A and B are shown apart, each in its own frame.
Chain A
């Protein structure tokens, strides 16, 4: 195999598929990326067997088609470090040489025959979702899943697609995030699967500029997703997802309207005075007033008491919550992403953004500049959210618009 291609394009592609390479594995070949050159296109593949990514680079000068399996970490490092606009690859058997102006690298790879097969996407079974809708639902729900392996079904996001509606639900059993979108041309038979959040984040990575839709194919135990540039497969989470609609309490008699930015600001202030071990903020409601109260009894002891102007006409009422659950949600409402348990996801997203910026700048892509990529879609933060409460043992229901619902179970604790 022999080809030459643009460094920036290759660097971006390697960055994308590298996020599917397992950090630790008992199957050494999985720490490699498979590179195939044919028909003017490079195809890069990586997998940890649970999920996998395939990503293409176009407009490649191929002198001799073929395939190679190269160590992912070294390859990634090399294509990021070099400053040349173009690189040349020459692979003979397992031996690969990467040539640039005034130097070369030699790498030893593995036999392409030994690399796991990548499942083919069946276009006939495709279910299509709008890119913005998909990103928005992932952002609104994936942060809420459980990181507790013993609650296996809750470690994934429930993904439901019907004829005219798509939904995602994430919950760890203590709070629940539920987002939905109106769609057109969905499947006649409902799709209902549980997807690991990492797979959803990988789908976001293969979205290329100009993509409007993502095609999904659902099978018994796995999901595939396809964009103009890449394909993903991921094993689904098995198990039964709890009945999330049943736990949304009806008939709240206490309805609060509040500005999300103001609530987030005041909650953060109060949170500084919670105990490390049992984080709790007491919400004290009275006519048009919400008082947030926290007390710290261990270590640097103290109290915090902060008021938020709200619209409230119900009876005086007190209830305590873990403020972190609220802050996660309020971050999303403000257009951000809460910290996800999989911290890897964030750094990889950044790597991609950087690569993308390089690509946009074309030939003179300078490694030293690392401009932040603009957010995929601007989010308009609503000026009001509603918080519905019933009693001290029932979940609080927060709504931001009609299509985003968030439940938080209270704490029963003395603050």
Chain B
């Protein structure tokens, strides 16, 4: 690593903080007897569940997130499977974000366990970017008993790349003068936005490393790939002009479920949808935000996946309203009649403060009632756990 200097026009003020094996780490912290064991968080291995997260001990066996649980169990027979406790991770995530926000208001969460921070302006109080990065890592360890990898640089792409380079427990600074040395040897999959598909396209062009992309030149890449070619060739040079966006719009809150057996009855899909709406609603309320747009996601038995969305007159955090819109979309726009459905999901998008938007003439009373009901359910679940209360509709038939 070079000396701790940075050119004035490229200050090291962009941080990317990524929690290591977040869900699994929370489980280990909450169950100390699991320390050092290969812990796998996800659906049960005998069913169609998938791995959500795995400790590094489990990853040694080849277990990866998004892998079917059954496959994970074959690779790692001694693995300890833990069910997903989304509410718990949310709670811990809020603690993590609270630590970030104590340094700067410019926090752009990408998910529960990672965020960009822009610390320009916070330097006089807390020191420069690298110093703040170290402080954040230390506070997450001391206050939450968790490990984060931190990347520090002068643009978002390089900060994200840096946090990933020495995971777990990484701390990497990429300075302007490091770009020439660090980037060229990296594989093209390290370019932000390059997935398996683009990767094979680039490989077909004979490009394997970021160095190859740089050597190919922007002109050729634009010819081959259009705007995307220009984009990756900028990234390969370490250029990225995107700002850290702390806005509501950048975020969405959602939940989804993969079913053990495909659903074909509309009634059972609706039952699942209500439970998912309940999850999304309680998370919106916990974050004190409301969704202006409700989107549903449907994956059919053949993995064909669609999304359908509707934007509301006024943002909502009411479970009933989220469910009503989701059910409408499912019935009218999703084409699920006669189909076999493998996964359902709901996402609240376009987040805004609750209680804003266009007022309505009718239904205010029932809306107030729903709001009180949500509050009671949230409180009971907080105290007694998720299964303490179940809406009558979801109980009609045990799943």
Contact = CB atoms under 8 A, between A and B. Distances in A.
Given A150-B328, A174-B313, A412 B359 contact: yes
B362 interface: yes
Of the candidates B328, B355, B357, B358, the one having the most CB atoms from chain A within 10 angstroms of its own CB is: B358
A341 interface: no
B361 A176 contact: yes
A132 B100 CA distance: 68
Nearest to B313: A174
A322 interface: yes
A18 interface: no
Contact of B359 (A150, A171, A176, A409): A409
A407 B313 CA distance: 17
B365 to A, nearest CB: 10
Given A150-B328, A174-B313, A411 B361 contact: no
Nearest to B325: A150
A395 B361 CA distance: 7
Interface string B351-375: 0000111111111000000000000
A174 B328 contact: no
Given A150-B328, A174-B313, A242 B356 contact: no
Contact of A173 (B328, B356, B357, B361): B361
Interface residues of A, number: 18
Contacts of A366: none
Contacts of A410: 359
Interface in A142-181: 150, 171, 173-176
A412 B356 contact: yes
Interface residues of B, number: 11
Contacts of A322: 358
Contacts of A242: 361-362
A175 B360 CA distance: 8
A393 interface: yes
A247 interface: yes
A306 B357 CA distance: 23
A409 B360 contact: yes
* Max chain B C-beta neighbours (<10 A), residue from A173, A175, A176, A393: A173
Nearest to A393: B359
Nearest to B355: A412
A397 B355 CA distance: 22
B73 to A, nearest CB: 45
Nearest to A244: B361
A278 B360 CA distance: 16
A407 B356 CA distance: 19
A407 B359 contact: no
A409 B361 contact: yes
Contacts of B363: 173
Contacts of A395: 359, 361
Contacts of A409: 358-361
A413 interface: yes
Interface in B274-333: 313, 328
A413 B314 CA distance: 10
Nearest to B359: A409
A411 B359 contact: yes
Contact of B358 (A150, A174, A176, A247): A174
Contacts of A393: 359
Nearest to A242: B362
A247 B355 contact: no
A242 B365 CA distance: 13
Contact of B357 (A150, A175, A176, A413): A413
21 contacts: A150-B328, A173-B362, A173-B363, A174-B313, A174-B358, A174-B359, A174-B360, A174-B361, A242-B362, A247-B362, A278-B357, A322-B358, A393-B359, A395-B361, A409-B358, A409-B359, A409-B360, A411-B356, A412-B356, A412-B359, A413-B357
Interface of B: 313, 328, 355-363
Interface of A: 150, 171, 173-176, 242, 247, 278, 322, 393, 395, 407, 409-413
Given A409-B359, A412-B357, A413-B357, 17 more contacts: A171-B361, A174-B313, A174-B358, A174-B361, A175-B361, A242-B362, A247-B361, A247-B362, A322-B358, A395-B359, A395-B361, A407-B361, A409-B358, A409-B361, A411-B358, A411-B359, A413-B356
